[in-house]
């Protein structure tokens, strides 16, 4: 049995020798590479925190001491060291291990935080609860992968620094990156601490002197720490963290496990909030990942571990269609600018940034700031395109409502990974945007059914300069275009055969399930019309007139049933006193465990077969 397979709980680490711990680190990296090469997942971030996570679990006593990871995708090693190493054979598979912390999996997983910059607020509350209830336990917040650029993190630090008696250790895992190198003033400050030419050479010289003088153990650590503090005071007398009133330890080589353990043990004795600044390398131990300049294999699909090459050829993606069309628009419209929240490549803005670097703004993991900054850009005479995953726009709802819409700013939001995404679990399903955004006055929302409509609707969206517009599309490959056979108002008619029994109104990519349902209904002798409204907010009033002529109205969408297209259309029919019965097919508002998109859609009854069967039962 390997050393890793003998670890059933963190306390097992404390019985291992240094030689065994070094071997364990190698085993963990091997297990990570094999698991992610097979199933896909976040490789680079986890390879970078092996020694750090081992040190945390040797110094602190989880789950009594709470350990919160931010962002949660760097918690694979934590999962291995808390008794789940054998389960990595089913990483991110239905019924298997989640790619993020999961309370259902283990008491060691405190919060399921796959969205960034939340750990310090959780930790602040947990530490306050310990104080109020007289518990001597510690809280450890591990914040990294650019999460310290988020505004919530600084709101939390402001509160954490206000109470010197709270047993809270903030570990800044500084790898200089989110997907790409971290941007902004904070990133620049941390980079100076990492890279000042006077800093590391002096530290190396002192380490050599300590070694030659045979000064080891705690005495060596204390001497080195005193020198590093003196160097920091000399080079950066107004240290950012210390100016907040927080004790600061570091920077420390995050791959030097004994050094990290010493630093954490020192921080543990302070009895108050402490920042421990560790320097790590994303992808450490797998040179293919380290050398990947794009994202250091931040999130990899299944790959050949010997070459790092993806095992499957990816179909043309929705993201790539958006990427190419935005560049074309940028060529034609010098007023169009782009904003990303630390996700330039994942959201398809990389090509625009390459061609128009002065018109592209990466604000870090700060969605709220991104949206209000976009409002300012619009007020300044530009047309910003804010590209973000659907699930992350949830964090900036107030800014969309009161900073953009209230001021009638022409901002276009492009929501990637909208609808059911699947593999990354409940926090990443983009199933909330249509429900949330329905309440925003003046906002228009488009759901393209194919690549041609994505290009078409994006162009329509950026022409609107006095209100916000939204274009949403799903994760994955884009299928063949579906051309309209007619139009009703501004909606596309995609199918019309056999009379006016059932009207199916389908949003975006769900038209494929609608057309499948139509074929099944026709086989049963039922007349069917299938319509794609293109713009699902506001809905075309012509749909009400069309529904009045049919025996049954069926709506299909991969977004929430509450506040979604179906519920709005139902209300429109009631307001117009149209008595046509309505069947609404959408996503129930609940948190779905990770599984493939097709599996989840089938479970929700969002298949052609299920939709047709329901319609037949209602006729």
Q: Give first-to-last CA distance, the chain, whole Å.
A: 62
Residue 590 among known ligand-binding residues: no
**Active-site annotation holds for 301:** no
- Mapped onto helix, strand or coil, the DSSP state of residue 17 is coil
Listed in sequence order, the residues at least 6 apart from 233 whose beta carbon sits closer than 8 Å to its beta carbon are 239
**Active-site annotation holds for 367:** yes
Give me the torsion for CA of 29, 35, 39, 40, rounded to 10°.
-10
Catalytically annotated residue among 51, 261, 367, 557: 367
- Please report which residue ranges of 236-366 form alpha helices under DSSP H: 240-243, 257-270, 287-290, 318-332, 350-355
- Mapped onto helix, strand or coil, the DSSP state of residue 559 is strand
Residue 146 among known ligand-binding residues: yes
Residue 145 among known ligand-binding residues: yes
Residue 500 among known ligand-binding residues: no
How far, in Å, CA of 515 to CA of 16, rounded? 61
Catalytically annotated residue among 66, 79, 177, 395: 395
Strand partners, 143: 70, 172
Q: Which two tokens stand for residue 199?
A: 């800093």
Backbone dihedral region for residue 301 (phi beyond 0: left; psi -120 to 50: alpha; all else: beta): beta
The closest of 184, 383, 167, 388 to 270, measured between CA atoms, is 167
Contact 142, 171 (CB under 8 A): yes
Catalytically annotated residue among 282, 359, 512, 583: 282
Contact 113, 70 (CB under 8 A): yes
Contact 481, 534 (CB under 8 A): no
Token look-up 């409502």 returns: 401
Give the side-chain half-sphere CA count within 13 A for 385.
Answer: 33
**Active-site annotation holds for 455:** no
Contact 196, 188 (CB under 8 A): no
Listed in sequence order, the residues at least 6 apart from 26 whose beta carbon sits closer than 8 Å to its beta carbon are 285
Residue 585 among known ligand-binding residues: no
CB count within 10 Å of CB 205 equals: 11
Q: What are phi and psi of 447, to 5 degrees?
A: -130, 95
Cis bond upstream, residue 375 (ω within 30): no
Residue 525 among known ligand-binding residues: no
Give the side-chain half-sphere CA count within 13 A for 402.
Answer: 4
Apex 143 CA angle, 375 and 309, nearest 5: 85
Residue 147 among known ligand-binding residues: yes
Residue 256 among known ligand-binding residues: no
Please give the C-alpha separations between residue 482 and each of 218, 359, 451, 510, 517, in angstroms, as whole numbers: 70, 34, 9, 12, 16
Residue 225 among known ligand-binding residues: no
- Mapped onto helix, strand or coil, the DSSP state of residue 479 is coil
Give the side-chain half-sphere CA count within 13 A for 438.
Answer: 19
Query: What is the pairing mode between strands 336-340 and 247-253?
Result: unpaired
How far, in Å, CA of 460 to CA of 483, rounded? 18
Please give the C-alpha separations between residue 396 and each of 295, 390, 410, 421, 528, in angstroms, as whole numbers: 25, 11, 16, 20, 40
Residue 175 among known ligand-binding residues: yes
- Mapped onto helix, strand or coil, the DSSP state of residue 308 is coil
**Residue positions forming the annotated binding site:** 73, 114-116, 145-147, 175, 286, 367
**Residue positions forming the annotated binding site for Mg(2+):** 145, 175
**Residue positions forming the annotated binding site for thiamine diphosphate:** 73, 114-116, 146-147, 175, 286, 367
Residues annotated as part of the active site: 282, 367, 395
């Amino acid at each position: 049995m390997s050393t890793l397979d003998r670890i059933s709980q963190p306390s097992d680490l404390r019985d291992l020798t240094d030689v065994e711990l070094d071997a364990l680190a190698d085993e963990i990296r091997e297990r990570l590479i094999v698991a992610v090469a097979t199933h896909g997942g976040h490789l680079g971030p986890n390879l970078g925190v092996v020694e750090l996570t081992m040190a945390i679990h040797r110094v602190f006593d989880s789950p009594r001491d709470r350990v919160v990871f931010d962002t949660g995708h760097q918690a694979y090693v934590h999962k291995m060291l808390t008794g789940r190493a054998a389960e990595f054979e089913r990483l991110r598979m239905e019924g298997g291990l989640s790619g993020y912390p999961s309370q259902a999996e283990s008491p060691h997983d405190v919060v399921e935080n796959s969205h960034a910059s939340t750990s310090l607020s959780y930790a602040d509350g947990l530490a306050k609860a310990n104080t109020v209830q007289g518990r001597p336990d510690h809280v450890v917040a591990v914040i990294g992968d650019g999460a310290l650029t988020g505004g919530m993190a600084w709101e939390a630090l402001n509160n954490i620094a206000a109470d010197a008696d709270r047993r809270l250790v903030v570990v800044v895992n500084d790898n200089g990156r989110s997907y790409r190198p971290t941007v902004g003033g904070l990133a620049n400050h941390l980079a100076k601490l990492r890279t000042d030419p006077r800093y590391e050479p002096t530290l190396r010289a002192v380490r050599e002197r300590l070694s030659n003088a045979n000064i080891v153990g705690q005495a060596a650590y204390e001497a080195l720490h005193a020198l590093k503090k003196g160097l920091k005071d000399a080079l950066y007398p107004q240290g950012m963290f210390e100016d907040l009133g927080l004790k600061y330890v570091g920077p420390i080589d995050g791959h030097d496990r004994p050094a990290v353990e010493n630093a954490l043990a020192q921080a543990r004795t302070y009895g108050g909030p402490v920042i421990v600044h560790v320097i790590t390398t994303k992808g450490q131990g797998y040179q293919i990942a380290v050398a990947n300049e794009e994202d250091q294999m931040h999130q990899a699909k299944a790959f050949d571990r010997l070459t790092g090459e993806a095992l499957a050829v990816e179909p043309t993606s929705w993201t790539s269609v958006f990427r190419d069309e935005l560049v074309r628009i940028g060529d034609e419209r010098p007023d169009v600018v782009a904003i990303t929240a630390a996700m330039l490549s994942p959201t398809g803005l990389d090509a625009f940034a390459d061609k128009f670097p002065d018109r592209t703004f990466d604000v870090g993991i700060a969605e709220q700031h991104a949206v209000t900054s976009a409002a300012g850009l619009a007020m300044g005479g530009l047309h910003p395109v804010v590209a973000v995953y659907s699930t992350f726009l949830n964090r900036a709802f107030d800014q969309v409502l009161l900073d953009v819409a209230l001021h009638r700013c022409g901002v276009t939001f492009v929501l990637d990974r909208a609808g059911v995404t699947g593999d990354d679990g409940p926090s990443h399903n983009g199933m909330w945007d249509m429900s949330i955004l329905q309440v925003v006055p003046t906002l228009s929302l488009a759901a393209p059914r194919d690549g041609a409509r994505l290009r078409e609707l994006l162009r329509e969206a950026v022409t609107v300069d006095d209100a916000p517009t939204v274009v949403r599309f799903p994760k994955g490959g884009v299928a063949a275009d579906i051309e309209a056979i007619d139009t009703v108002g501004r909606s596309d008619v995609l199918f019309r055969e056999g009379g006016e029994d059932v009207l199916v109104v389908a949003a975006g990519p769900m038209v494929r399930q609608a057309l499948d349902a139509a074929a099944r209904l026709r086989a049963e002798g039922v007349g069917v019309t299938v319509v794609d409204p293109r713009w699902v907010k506001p809905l075309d009033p012509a749909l009400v007139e069309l529904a009045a002529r049919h025996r049954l109205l069926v709506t299909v969408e991969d977004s929430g049933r509450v506040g979604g297209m179906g519920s709005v259309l139902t209300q429109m029919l009631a307001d117009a006193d149209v008595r046509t019965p309505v069947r609404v097919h959408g996503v129930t508002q609940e948190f779905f465990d990770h599984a493939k998109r097709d599996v989840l859609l089938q479970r929700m009854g969002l298949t052609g077969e299920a939709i047709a069967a329901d319609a037949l039962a209602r006729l």
